[in-house]
Amino acid sequence: MFLSKSFGYALRGVLYVALLEPKGKKIKIEQIADKLAVPRHFLAKIMKKMVQENILTSTKGPYGGFSLSPITLQTKLLHLVKITDGMEQFNTCVLSLRKCNSKNPCPLHFQMLQIRDGMLAEFSKTSIGDLLDKKNPDFIKSISVI
Amino acid sequence: MFLSKSFGYALRGVLYVALLEPKGKKIKIEQIADKLAVPRHFLAKIMKKMVQENILTSTKGPYGGFSLSPITLQTKLLHLVKITDGMEQFNTCVLSLRKCNSKNPCPLHFQMLQIRDGMLAEFSKTSIGDLLDKKNPDFIKSISVI
DNA sequence: TTCAAAAAAGACATTAATGTCTTTTTTAGT
DNA sequence: ACTAAAAAAGACATTAATGTCTTTTTTGAA
Ligand code: FES
Ligand code: FES
């Protein structure tokens, strides 16, 4: 309901790179997909989009893989949502009637506005770096299927 | 993202019946689908589920159609969500990792908990009757595509 | 320069949500 | 009893999201 699987894969993928990449090596998509138990090629498409948006960098060829970009840790979650789910949901009426609009509200409009604005606020202020907790030795578990 | 189309159709359908039924007549699915510009047979399936849950009543045959049940107006929106979308979304991790669980939280857990609890609270306290505004001559417009 | 490793790209498959059409069942009135 | 009207049921179609497989492009190192 709230967010697509793609969004979850994107966030877990970038967090995995952020957690391990500082060791110096690039992270291969195969390793990410294996460790996170995510469909490899599906994840690859999502990672590619993140690279296009400069949320990650990647290099092809031997010793290649994914690594952080200068903006990775400052990237807001809303940017990931934009990439994976799009922003239409935030200004489309929950009853699928039309563009959501306070001048011409549906019966649920103001309730939904509050909920969506809460989510928008949270995702606008929270960055990928905010979610990364390198000090926690169990952090890797928190982004893996148990 | 937030809710399915089915949910929107369900709410608009039941509000349409609640708005017009007190005139004494049963409301036919054909009329509802036409006036709300909703796929007729798809809506019919959703209406049937609401009847099974006693959120509406229906009678077959000539002069039949849909009408309110004793509990229609007291029905909480969460009941509609249960019918159309299910409740799993409220206790499944946003990262699709597993059952959502504060003892073993994913990096987004507490942010999502707040958002979801806000939505749960709103949908638990708001009833169909709360959304029905018979005094408003434009209410019908607010549940129709403009 | 060739080779192998890796991401990128693209074709295709599966699944879940949404939508359409037809048949069956029920029922009010004649 | 018969007929017609209406919901209910069910078969099938379309679409969007998710997932798999293969080919192409890029690149570092021998
Ligand atoms: S008009 Fe329906 S949610 Fe805003
Ligand atoms: S554990 Fe992920 S949202 Fe609760």
CATH placement of domain A5-141: 1.10.10.10
CA dihedral (B146, B83, B75, B101) in degrees, to 10, reads -110
pLDDT of residue B16: 97
Is B111's C-beta closer than 6 angstroms to any atom of ligand 2? no
Q: Report angle CA B90, A41, B109 to the nearest 5 degrees.
A: 25
**Which of the four pLDDT bands, split at 50, 70 and 90, describes residue A146?**
low
Are B56 and B73 spatial neighbours (Cβ–Cβ below 8 Å)? no
Ligand 1 centroid to Cα of residue A54, in Å, is 33
DSSP state of A73: G
Average pLDDT, chain A: 94
Residue B61: burial class (beta carbons within 10 Å; 0-12, 13-18, 19+)? exposed
Q: Please count the other Cβ atoms lying within 10 Å of the Cβ belonging to residue A146.
A: 9
pLDDT, mean of residues B82-86 = 97
Tokens of A6: 């793609």
Q: Which residues 22-81 in chain A have a CB closer than 7 A to strand C?
A: 26-30, 41, 44-45, 47-48, 51, 58-66
Tell me the domain boundaries of chain B. Answer: 5-141
For chain A, what is the radius of gyration of the CA atoms?
Answer: 17
* The token pair that represents B19 in the structure block: 């708005």
pLDDT for residue B146: 66
Indicate the average pLDDT of chain B. Answer: 94
pLDDT tens digit string along A32-72? 999 999 999 999 999 999 999 999 999 999 999 999 999 99
A21: confidence class by pLDDT, cuts 50, 70, 90:
confident
How far does chain A reach from its first CA to its final CA, in angstroms?
22
CA distance B87 to B133: 28
Whether CB of B118 is under 7 Å from strand C: the answer is: no
If DSSP states are collapsed to H, E and C, what string results for chain B?
CCCCHHHHHHHHHHHHHHHHHHHCCCECHHHHHHHHCCCHHHHHHHHHHHHHCCCEEEECCCCCEEEECCCHHHCEHHHHHHHHCCCHHHCECCCCCCECCCCCCCCCHHHHHHHHHHHHHHHHHCEHHHHCCCCCCCHHHHCCCC
> DSSP assignment, residue A61?
S
A1 band by pLDDT with thresholds 50, 70 and 90: low
Q: How far is A132 from chain B (nearest CA, A)?
A: 8
Distance CA A113, CA A89 (A): 11
Q: Which nucleotide in the DNA or RNA is closest to residue A62, CA to C1'?
A: C5
Residue A95 CA: nearest ligand 1 atom is 2
* pLDDT tier, A24 (very low <50, low <70, confident <90, very high otherwise): confident
Best probe of the A interface among B97, B101, B127, by most A CBs < 10 A, is: B97
pLDDT at A97: 72
